[in-house]
Each structure stands twice: as structure tokens, then as C-alpha cells.
Chains A and B, each alone.
Chain A
């Protein structure tokens, strides 16, 4: 077992880096979508509200694995068959496995981030907006300078949890052949027939990774805290 671990740990490390990279990019996309989605959900514009509500309802309901299949196996070939050139060009990057994984996980997680950020913004007292506006700030300036910075502190812990969920979810990318941690474990298992060892080692990597992330999130959370006493 120790020899086994010694032999394959470098490979698992490489997979870990890929998993972290996919998770980080997915989360960046997710938070970007979440910010826009939250503003849409809270907007005075009815269309914006219904579009973002529909997005949340829809993508929260699709299992990430199904979405991954649709994005990777479905979209680029569909555009190809359709023969609409600009669309095909636009979707061509999805032929890249990592790109597909990032889009699928990002869009899926974006639905959760939308709700997290929306409730964080809603948790800021409306009086903060009034105070900003009484200084002559426009709605958007007040959002940018006063509301969003305070919401970010509220949203940070749940977004940290979401990041951990996304990280674990990147194991699904193994099914489309992204050589992340889980895929490496599969390859090792297939080559050595030592299933228990191969997958347990992957599990250990995930657990250690999540514990490290949790402590980083916790530390940042304390630093960002609005309580200064």
C-alpha cells in the first residue's frame, strides 16, 4: 500500500491540480453569472426578473452530469448539423473537454450562486441604500460602493461551500475524459486491478483538499468580517 501510494502520488497530484483548475474556472463563471443573476432577480424590470428566475429554476433542476453530457456531446455537434456557421464557431470551444466541463459546472453552480448572492444583497438593510442615495449616489454607484461590498462579506461563506461542492463535482468530468483526480484513479485502477487502493487514495486527496480549502475559507471569512470588536 505504501509502495502503491509512493508510485502513484505524483500522478494524483497532477489530477488534483486539474480538478482545482476546473473548479476555480467554474466557480469564477458561477460567481459572474450569480452576480448578474442576482441583480436580475432583484431588478425592477419584469423581463429580467422572469429570465433569471427561469434560469435558476431550470439549472437547479438539471443534474450536473446530464448537463455535462448535453454541453459536451450535444451542443457542438448539434451546431455542426444545423450548419449555422457563426453558431458552430461560437460553440466550437466546447469540443475541448475542459472547456465543456467548466461551462457545464459553471452554469449549473451559477444557479446556486444567484440565490446566494441575491439573499446576501437582500440581507443588507435598505437603509444603507437610502444613506448612499442621500449623499447623491446613483443606484449603481451605491450598489458598487456600498451594497455589493457588504453583500460580498455575507455571501462569502456560502460561496465557499459552493466552491467545495463544485470541486467535488469536478470528479464527474472524468466521464468525458478530463484527466482530473477521479480519471487518474480510474486509470490506475484499470492498470493495477487494485480498485480499493486506487479509489481510496483519490478519496484521501479529495478529503485533504476540502479540509485545506475549508480552513482557507474560514480564515478569509474572519478577515472579511464586518464585526470589528
Chain B
């Protein structure tokens, strides 16, 4: 019998120097084998070269004056031009609706109890306020434009106070107010005949990033419930309902969005009386929404299929009626399981708003491209422009996927 002679157990030692700290990290991640070391050196050299040339291009050869020239028009497109809004300054209208949004963010901050929502609210407001400090100004950016941008800070504070000290600080109220804000934005941007200062602006002049955001917000808000309905319909026991949903989903998924958009422009108006007030903006929004809803339905159906039958059976055995089982048991779990896919679809929808070029709407990409074509002296700056636009979109879409990952973590999906 050879019991270990020491009566006390051995003490822990630090790992060998090669496996410790920065050196250990480098050893494990960069130089764990001869092949790996060669790969590290090669890829570092390659990336270094790419970084060097890019940096040199950015510093020496690139010319960003086009971005500064466009500046505010990137955000609102032709909205504030003489054609769209003759004899008036209309820049304040989108800015006021922005103030309403920051107010809502302030309320959401309180309702969510801080955390991620708080960081989003403060971040958005800070960025907006910081825009007022830009040196060469948003297009025709007078003092009023700067002031309205800075006003986002008190707007946030107002929202915060409203939610804190009045009974408006509940999710339900915020949702209602959000819908009102959206409607108010549409009214404000559209203007009204005869109201002083609110000269009508035709939707064909709505443009820039504002248009992308409007279409994306409307599309997200509407495609989600429609997608849920389609997903439930496709899983229904009723053959007719199921067939209708399958046909709808497959047709919309089988055809490119721009074909549908183009069709909405040429074909849909034929189905309505000639004086029917269904303008191109609404048509585009409806098509984007339905297209996105078809994809959303498939994502949610995936989540429903992955659910364990036991959940439904347990709910049934408790005597819950079917619609309550769906609403309170299966849907919340299914949606929670496919949050990444759903947010992915939101991101796709936001990116797809650029496709309205096919029907001649002046979103941020189309407007900039048209500007280059109208002013050929800027063609050499096209690369800078599209890199800049890429970054703008990337900031939005990457923030969305970042938020989705945070939500997932907070819900503890996958670690239940």
C-alpha cells in the first residue's frame, strides 16, 4: 500500500510561463503549432498591408467634400428643397418628430428600469445633440436647426419625467404614444393645405435616411403581427386556411422584392379607382411589409416547430382554451427562441428599404446616386460616398444585432 506520503494535499501552482497571461494567450491563439505560427505571420502581414493601403487612401487620396456637400440632404433627401416646400423652411418638421421620438425613449428608459434601454436612449440623444456641433453644418443649417438638435436633451428629460411622475410610464401607454407619434409624424411631414407653416409636401419629395427609417419602422411594426398570423395559419388544422397561408408565403418568398415593388407601381393602381389616394409611399410600405411578413412567418414557424409538445399538453391539461394556449404559452416561447432570426429579418427589411429606387423614391442611396449623376464632377468621389453610406447602414444594422444579443442574454435563451 502506497498512500501518498504527504498528509496535506498538494498546493496549486501557477501554470508554466508559456501558458500564462499575455504570453500564454499568444501561445494558445497564435503560435500553438508551426503551421499556426506561419498562418499568424502571413495573415498579420496581409491585414497589415490592407490596413496600410486603406489608411493611406483615407488620408492622402480620398476626398470627402461630397459628403459635406450633401450633409443634411442625406438625412431628408429633397424634402427641404424649393421644389418640395416652396418658399418655406421645412427642416423643422422631421426634427420635431425626432423630438417626439426622444421623448418616447425617455419614457421607455423609465418603463424598462434602466439597463440597455437607458444606454440606447442616452446614446441616441447624445449623438443627435452632437450633430449640432458639426462645423460646416447640415445643409442650410441655421441656428434654429442646431437648437432643435440640442433640444433632444430636454426632450429626453421630459420623457423621463413624464414616465416617472405621471401614470404614463407603462409599456401600454408608451406603445399607444408610439403609434400616435408615428401618425403625428406622417401628418407633420405631409402638411396640410391652409394651415400656416404646414404647407403640403408631396410624398415623392420625402427622402433620405428619413424615408428608409419611416419605411423600416412601419414595416417592422406591421410585418411582425402579420407574420405571426401567417405562421399560425400555416400550422392550422384547417386545410383551407393552411393552403391560403402557404400560397401567400411561398409566392412572396419566391419573387424578388424589387419585382414586387415595381408591380406595386404599375399594376396595383389599376385595381383602384383613378382618384384613389393610395400614393407610392403607402404602396411601397405595404409591399415591403407583406414581403417581410412572409419571411417572418417562416422564422416564427421554425420556433413553433422546435417547441416541445409537452408545453401544449400541460396547458391543455390545465383547461386553458386553445387561443390562450397559443397566446400565453406557445407563442412567447417560440418567439423567444427565434429572436436572432426575427431581428435578422428586421435588419434585412431595413436594408431592403433601399430597393425603393426601382419606383423612383429618393431614399438615401438613390438620392446620393442621383446627385452624383446630376453633378458628374463628383464621380471621382463616388467610392467615398458609398463607403460612407455603407458605414451609416452598418451602424444601424449592427446596433440592431447588438441589441438582439443583449436581449437574448437577458432572457437567458439557451441557458434555461
Q: Do A and B bind each other?
A: no
